[in-house]
Amino acid sequence: MLVVIFRSLIILVFLIAGMRLMGKRTIGEYQPFEFVIVLAVAELAATPMQDISTPIIYGLVPLITVFVVHFILSSINKKSIRLRKFLNGKPMIVIDKDGINSQALKELNMNTDDLMGMLRGQGCFSIEEVNYAIMETNGKLSIMQNENAPGSQSIPMSVVVEGKIMGENIKNINLDKQKILDIIREKNLKLNEVLLMTLDSKKVFIQPINGKYMTFEAQDV
Amino acid sequence: MSKYKSVIVIIASVLVIAGGIAELIYIDKTFEEFIERIDYILAQDQYSVEDVKDTEEWLKRKHKGLEFLIPHDQLNELSISFNEVSGAVERQDYEAASAMLHRTREYAIRLNDLYSLRIQNIV
């Protein structure tokens, strides 16, 4: 048991020194390649702590190697924009004046629900409230709010997401499927062309997959 | 601060690389000597107890150093295997001793290969 304690202490000292070398960023701020390194380090540190039949250098050498590689990559990153783009990707505009950029979402492997969740996390409950939203390389969403946006009466309810009607949501607001289809048809759209449709009291928001979003008051909803 | 970090990284890299090279040389030399000792024993018509005991003592000393570099299970297997040789030679069971010596020799060659810098170990 004492052996495990000593081994754990030695590895912890190296881990702390290595993490200090990586800088003062928190997990949410790591770039993709840094996140990979943190994951690898966690795995590398755990096994040699407990497996006393393996010399401790089998844990320390990979740890040092990973930290050294991180330092070298970070140093080159500071000077090379090309490498930075290759390792970290680049920020992408996911919401612009036309609304949600579905192509950007596809490239980011994100769906509309992910985006709406992130927007809500930033205190925005509708696309209209946002002029621009940028997905940063560390996975955080930066938004430029639309000061002129009309305030929401309530939380907009998603009724169509990526061409699919949200059955449970329309049941909650006592709306029938046909009414949703009629509204969409009135705007010369097909269901599968709608990326997002929300209802906020009588106010309808429709974001087509291609084209600018539209908002209007709907009757009988 | 960045300068200090660079210095630390350079020192750590040099230590790891130098340590790695030293480790390779140490393991290779140790196993080579072990194999040479086994070959010397095998070359005799009747295995000498003194030679075997001498190698056994030598292996015990090397075992402690190798424990820093090689997983203990594999080292223990090597030592136990050679101790069996020692027992067989003491009983003058040279046939069994010969088989065990060949087995130990092959195991030492395999271990040396396992810890050498070879493409097969990297890929």
Residue A76 forms contact with B (CB below 8 Å): no
B41: domain range?
27-122
The DSSP secondary-structure symbol of B46 reads S
Residue B7 located in a structural domain: no
Instruction: Enter the tokens of residue A150.
Output: 């009309």
Residue A55 forms contact with B (CB below 8 Å): yes
Residue B1 located in a structural domain: no
Q: Are A48 and A56 in contact (CB under 8 A)?
A: yes
Residue B74 located in a structural domain: yes
State which amino acid sits at residue A20. Answer: R
Q: Which residues of chain B have pLDDT under 70?
A: 1
- The per-residue pLDDT for B76 is 95
Q: Which domains does chain A have, with CATH numbers?
A: 2-87 (no CATH), 92-217 (3.30.240.20)
- The per-residue pLDDT for A220 is 67
Residue B11 located in a structural domain: no
How far off is chain A from B23, nearest CA to CA, in Å? 11
- What would the pLDDT profile of A95-152 be if each residue is shown by its tens digit? 999 999 999 999 999 999 999 999 999 989 889 899 999 999 888 999 999 888 777 6
* Domain count for chain B: 1
- Taking chain A (221 residues) in runs of 10, the rounded mean pLDDT of each run is 86 88 73 85 85 87 90 89 88 94 92 93 90 92 88 82 91 86 91 92 89 84 64
- The per-residue pLDDT for B56 is 95
The DSSP secondary-structure symbol of B71 reads -
Residue B105 located in a structural domain: yes
DSSP string, chain A: -HHHHHHHHHHHHHHHHHHHHH-S--GGG--HHHHHHHHHHHHHHHHHHH-TTS-THHHHHHHHHHHHHHHHHHHHHHH-HHHHHHHH---EEEEETTEE-HHHHHHTT--HHHHHHHHHHTT--SGGGEEEEEE-TTSPEEEEE-TTSPPPSSPPEEEEETTEE-HHHHHHTT--HHHHHHHHHHTT--GGGEEEEEEETTEEEEEESSS--EEEE-S--
Residue B54 located in a structural domain: yes
Residue of A nearest to B9 (CA): A68
**CB contact residues (below 8 A), chain B span 22-81, against chain A:** 67-73
- The per-residue pLDDT for B29 is 96
Residue B52 located in a structural domain: yes
- The per-residue pLDDT for A3 is 81
Residue B56 located in a structural domain: yes
**What residues of chain B lie within 8 A of the CB of A72, using their CB?**
9
